[in-house]
Structures are given as structure tokens and as C-alpha cells.
Amino acid sequence: MIPAISVVIPCFNLGAYLDEAVQSVLRQTRQDFEIVIVDDGSDDPVTRHLLTSYRRPRTRIIATGNRGLASARNTGIEQAAGLFVSFLDADDVYEPRFLERTIGPLEADESLAFASCWLTAFGEKEFVWEPQTCEFPWLLAEDTVCTAAPTRREALMAVGGLDEDERIGGYEDWELAISLVKNGFTGVIVPERLFRYRIRPESMSTWCTRPQNHARLFAYLLDKHAEVYQEHASGVLDAIGRRTDELEGHLQIEPPSRPAVDVSNWREAMLELERHRRAIEQIVVDADEPGPLLRRRWTSARCAGSSPSAGCGVSIAGSRSTATTSSSSCRRTPAASLETCWRSRTRSTRPATGRRCDR
């Protein structure tokens, strides 16, 4: 029987976590899947010993040389038998209904190429991640698509899979999401916390989100996708400004002056403002006390007009931005693009309806 879903698990020296990830797949309420573990040249004794004798239902192991995460995922795409592919990193886990709730919308609507969801981060940091849109310009300002989002294999093949250039290492999933939407593929966000994302001190995500590394990776995205960034420049700058406003509101000190930029030079303006925003975010995150949940929520403010941010302008030179919005100029009542607050864990009461994502 051909599986509907191929769960691709790249693994490099993560044997200590691998079985927890696999078991989370095996416990799914939907069972028409295969598990493809791609051993990316693991060389630590624990992982090598585990994989030598590892046997689980509907699970196969493909061994490769150490070529990196993107290459391991691309190998998984090539070997996948399913109509849909989901990338599950070896240290992350699915919630029990992940496949059921994300594959359902894709089967119900053939125009959708991928289905993302909300997630709960655990480990070194704890927060919930609840993005509201994966359309442009918001997706260009920050990755709002879950790494594990099931995607039609034919769509992945159409965009050439993941970018294996080491200069985008750590943000290859964001680059993939941009490539999908850029090439006309649409997606949906299922507003449920269906995925658990582990934060480790030595993990790739921890490394690439450090301000200096983030700036370099973001510059790569700007250069590779210059056409769409230029097309949506006003909306991207607006999104960065809104997110900076929210972060500044949580500082216990006077926020540093926002750099003045020349918006006609969209690339340098984006780099400078995003560098400033990320530095402030690092201050906020570092100030988080042990224990509380860092809650992050992105909300779309889609506006009518030729510009993605028409009617949602923002002053971005020198001081905090002032958003100017009105219900008459927006298709949806705009809210803060990034809400960061400290509160106890609560279950979402939002209705389980998907949010479409496109250009």
C-alpha cells in the first residue's frame, strides 16, 4: 500500500532524541504514513549504535555522507513514496493529531500546496508560536511556516527542493516557504498547536537567530529573492516596523533610537531595520525569567490597494513607528504584528479554521 504521507527525519548525531520523534509519528491518529530516516553521516557512538539495529514499523533508514540538513531533506524528498512530505527534525515531536489536522485541508482543497500550524517550543526556552498568515509581505519579513508543514511532493520538486547553499544554513525552511509562495503555490495555517519544537543551546536555530548570524542569513534571502522583496518592499518595511514597536513596548529601559534609513534603497533599509529589530528581540528574550512562557503571535493586517501596506503606513526613520490604519482601508481589522507577553500556558480557544496563504 502506497502511503499518503512521507515523514522525513534527517538525523545527524541526534540519536539521544530520535526515538522520541519516531514514536510521536507512530502515535498519530492518522496512520497512512511512512517514516524515512536520513542518517546524514552521523559519527557519534550513540547515534551510530542506535541506527545499526533500529527497527520500527513503516520505517526505513537511508545512510548518506555528511552533507548538511538541506541535502538530507532533499534526499528524503527523492526517496519519498507519499503524496505529501513532512520534515520532522530528529529532536522535535508531533502532537498526536498533527497529520490528521494538517493533511485534511490539503486533501479537501487541491489548490493548497502546504498546511502549516501553530507550535509549542520547549527545552531551553518555552513559548507558543501562533502565526496568522504565511502570505507576502509577512512571510518575507519573518518565517511564519512551521518546519514540519506537510507539503505536496510535486510542489517541492517543482521548486527544486531546499537550497543546499551553506550561506542559508539554518533558514533553508524559510527560503523554501518563500520559494513556494513566489512560484504560485498557496498554503494554509491550521490554528492549533500541533507541533513541539525543541530549543537546545547548541541547536542550529539557536545559532542562526543570533543577531549577527540572522543579519547575514537575511541578506542572502534579500539577494536571492530580490524581485519579490522589491515588489513588496513597503509591506515588508511596515511589518518590520510593527514588530519592532511591539518589542520596544516590553523593554524595561528606554529603547535605543531606531536608525534613520533611506526607504528608496529598500535592501539596505530592510537590513538596517531588521538588524535593529533582532537586537531588541534578543534583549527581550534574554530578559525572560526562568519558567514563564514566552508567547509570540503574528497577526496579519492585509490592506487594499496596489501596495501590500496601502493604508497601513509607518514612519520608520529615527523614532518609533506610528501605524495609521482604518477599517475602511483594510480587508481585515489590523492588530499588532507581533505580540510578546509573559503568561501561563493556556489552550487556544480559537476556532479550528484554516487561514489561506498566498501572494
pLDDT, tens digit, for every residue of 96-147? 999 999 999 999 999 999 999 999 999 988 999 999 999 999 999 999 999 9
Could you tell me if 148 and 86 are in contact, meaning their C-beta atoms sit under 8 angstroms apart? yes
- What pLDDT was estimated at residue 51? 96
What is the tens place of the pLDDT at every residue in 261-303?
999 999 999 999 999 999 998 888 777 643 333 444 443 333 2
User: What percent of the chain lies above the pLDDT cut of 90?
Assistant: 70
- What pLDDT was estimated at residue 339? 29
| Residue 187 falls inside a structural domain | no
> Does residue 188 register a pLDDT over 60?
yes
Residue 152's H or E segment, with its range, is: strand 151-152
Mean pLDDT along residues 194-201: 94
Q: Measure the CA–CA gap between 111 and 172, rounded to whole angstroms.
A: 24
| Residue 145 falls inside a structural domain | no
Residue 222's H or E segment, with its range, is: helix 211-224
> Does residue 348 register a pLDDT over 90?
no
| End-of-domain residue from the set 73, 93, 113 | 93
Mean pLDDT along residues 3-26: 98
Question: Which DSSP letter does residue 136 get?
Answer: T
Residue 34 phi, psi dihedral angles, 5° rounding: -125, 155
| Residue 350 falls inside a structural domain | no
What is the tens place of the pLDDT at every residue in 163-181?
999 999 999 999 999 999 9
Q: What is the CATH number of the domain that holds 64?
A: 3.90.550.10
Could you tell me if 280 and 251 are in contact, meaning their C-beta atoms sit under 8 angstroms apart? yes
* Residue in 11, 1, 99, 101 with CA at minimum distance from that of residue 50: 11
Supply the Cα-derived Rg of the chain in whole angstroms: 20
| Residue 146 falls inside a structural domain | no
> Does residue 158 register a pLDDT over 50?
yes
- Residue 278 in grid coordinates: 533582532
Give the Cβ contact number of residue 144 at 10 Å.
23
N residues, the chain: 359
Full-model pTM: 0.82
User: What percent of the chain lies above the pLDDT cut of 70?
Assistant: 80
Q: Measure the CA–CA gap between 252 and 12, rounded to whole angstroms.
A: 40
Give the Cβ contact number of residue 31 at 10 Å.
15
Q: How confident is the model at residue 357 (pLDDT cuts 50, 70, 90)?
A: low
Q: Measure the CA–CA gap between 135 and 55, rounded to whole angstroms.
A: 40
Per DSSP, the chain holds a count of helices (H) and strands (E) of 12, 12
Helix %, strand %, coil % of the chain (to 5): 35, 20, 45
- What pLDDT was estimated at residue 55? 97
Average of per-residue pLDDT values in the chain: 83
Domain extent at residue 303 = 223-342
| Residue 289 falls inside a structural domain | yes
| Residue 163 falls inside a structural domain | no
The domain total for the chain is: 2
Could you tell me if 123 and 14 are in contact, meaning their C-beta atoms sit under 8 angstroms apart? no
| Residue 156 falls inside a structural domain | no
> Does residue 318 register a pLDDT over 70?
no
Mean pLDDT along residues 223-236: 98
| End-of-domain residue from the set 93, 110, 140 | 93
| End-of-domain residue from the set 64, 93, 122 | 93
Q: Which long-range contacts (CB under 8 A, 24 or more apart) does 219-227 make?
A: 219/271, 220/165, 220/167, 220/168, 220/171, 220/175, 221/140, 221/168, 221/171, 221/174, 221/175, 221/178, 222/267, 222/270, 222/271, 224/163, 224/168, 224/175, 225/140, 225/175, 225/178, 225/179, 225/182, 226/267
Q: Measure the CA–CA gap between 80 and 353, rounded to whole angstroms.
A: 29
CA pseudo-torsion sign 49, 50, 54, 58: negative
| Residue 170 falls inside a structural domain | no
Looking at this protein, which amino acid is placed at residue 254?
Answer: E
